[in-house]
Amino acid sequence: MKAPAILSTLFIILVLAAGCSTVVWEKPGTTSAELTDDMAACRQVATTTHLETQDWVSGSPTLFLPVAELDYRAFDACMRQRGYVASRTER
C-alpha cells in the first residue's frame, strides 16, 4: 500500500473511532430538564457569531452569512462551574 493510501485509511479509522463515543454530563440530584436548561445556558455563553462572506460565482455583490461557533472549552468550563462532571460513554 502506498503512503497516501495508508494515511487516508488511518485518518478514516481515527475519525470513525472518535465518533463512537459521546460526552455525558452528570450532576447528582439534577433532573433532565435542569440539565437541558444548564446546557442551553452554557451553549449560549460559549457561542460566538460573526458574518462570513460568500462570493457569488458571477462576481456579483458579496453575500454575508451568519456563522455561529461553539467554544468547547468555554462550554466545558461553564458546565463544570455549575457542578457537572463529564464522562465519556461508548455508543
Q: Nearest-CA neighbor of 77 among 67, 86, 68?
A: 86
pLDDT value at residue 65: 81
Give every residue of the chain whose pLDDT is below 50, as ranges: none
Bridge partners of 48, per DSSP, are: 69
Q: In a 10 Å sphere around its CB, with 0-12 CB exposed, 13-18 middle and 19+ buried, how is residue 76 labelled?
A: middle
CA distance 80 to 39: 11
CB 24 within 8 A of CB 90: no
Tell me the per-residue pLDDT of 23-44, one tens digit each, with 9 for 90 and over: 899 999 999 999 999 999 999 9
- Bridge-based pairing of strands 47-54 and 21-26 is unpaired
pLDDT value at residue 2: 58
